[in-house]
């Protein structure tokens, strides 16, 4: 074939048969897999997902076993169970969404950790853990040991706290930025509109920047000044 012409446009031509992932993943086979790994489904009324709790110490080893079976890590979900209706073993549940594309099996592993407790990073097993664990660290505040680059990924550097925790203050809160700029939303809005700041949705709690609060040059914007 002329190299400049490129190859045939038809991409599903005569190459090796690669079957489309089958549409059936029997629940019994999934249970057998979990039993083989020494795990069991979470036995609560929330039975819609095959969630298997796992001790943090066994996480890395189990992940390696699943990796060897062709599972890929699709997502890491950090859940803060602070106000949850059911009693959970610990405050945070870090859920690993694992999927096998050849057999169409999906397993959710969940490691429970308390605030301040660390989890082993799964980066040595799956490279996709890199961003996903950074996101959980950023938004929920669970730390991962031996992660190559555990930095914030989504929120600004000078945001203190982890927004997806249930005790993160909601609504407008005065914010002190690292460069010393201080922003009070109500006064800021009043400065823009020339009207009263009015009530805000702020429900208590103050979001602090990295600089100490006392050093803030408190300067409320005047009307017409942004």
Q: Is 14 in the site for another protein (CB under 8 A)?
A: no
Q: Is 104 in the site for another protein (CB under 8 A)?
A: yes
Nearer to another protein, 2 or 225 (CB): 2
- 189/169 Cα distance (integer angstroms): 20
Evaluate whether 114 touches 82 at the Cβ level (below 8 Å): no
Q: Is 200 in the site for another protein (CB under 8 A)?
A: no
- 11/110 Cα distance (integer angstroms): 39
The dihedral formed by the CA atoms of 162, 143, 92 and 77, expressed in degrees to the nearest 10: 80
**The two three-digit tokens of residue 186, written as one number:** 């109500």
Query: To which H or E segment does residue 77 belong?
Result: strand 72-80
Q: Is 70 in the site for another protein (CB under 8 A)?
A: yes
Return the residue of 1, 5, 14, 199 that touches another protein, per CB under 8 A.
Answer: 5
Return the residue of 62, 80, 109, 184 that touches another protein, per CB under 8 A.
Answer: 80
Name the DSSP class of 214. G
DSSP-assigned beta bridge partners for residue 144: 119
Nearer to another protein, 135 or 172 (CB): 135
Kindly determine how many residues on this chain lie close enough to bind another protein according to the rule CB under 8 A: 57
Binding site for another protein (CB under 8 A): 3-6, 9-12, 15, 18-23, 45-49, 51, 70, 72-75, 77-80, 83-86, 95, 97, 101, 104, 106, 108, 126-128, 130-132, 135, 139, 152-156, 163-164, 168, 170
């Amino acid at each position: 074939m002329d190299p400049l012409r490129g190859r045939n446009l038809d991409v599903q031509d005569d190459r090796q048969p690669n079957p489309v992932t089958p549409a059936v993943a029997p629940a019994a086979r999934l249970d057998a897999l979990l039993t083989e790994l020494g795990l069991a489904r979470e036995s609560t009324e929330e039975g819609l997902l095959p969630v298997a709790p796992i001790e943090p110490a066994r996480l890395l080893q189990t992940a390696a076993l699943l990796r060897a079976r062709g599972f890929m890590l699709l997502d890491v979900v950090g859940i803060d169970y602070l106000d949850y209706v059911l009693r959970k073993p610990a405050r945070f549940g870090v859920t690993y969404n694992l999927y096998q594309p050849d057999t169409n099996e999906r397993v959710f592993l969940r490691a429970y950790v308390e605030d301040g407790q660390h989890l082993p990073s799964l980066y040595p097993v799956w490279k996709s853990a890199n961003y996903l664990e950074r996101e959980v660290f950023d938004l929920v505040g669970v730390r991962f040991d031996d992660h190559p680059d555990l930095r914030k990924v989504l929120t600004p550097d000078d945001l203190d706290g982890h927004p997806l925790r249930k005790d993160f203050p909601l609504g407008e809160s005065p914010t002190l930025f690292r460069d010393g700029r201080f922003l009070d939303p109500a006064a800021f809005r009043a400065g823009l509109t020339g009207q009263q700041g009015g009530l805000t949705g702020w429900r208590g709690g103050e979001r602090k920047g990295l600089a100490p609060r006392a050093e803030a040059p408190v300067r409320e914007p005047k009307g017409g000044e942004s």
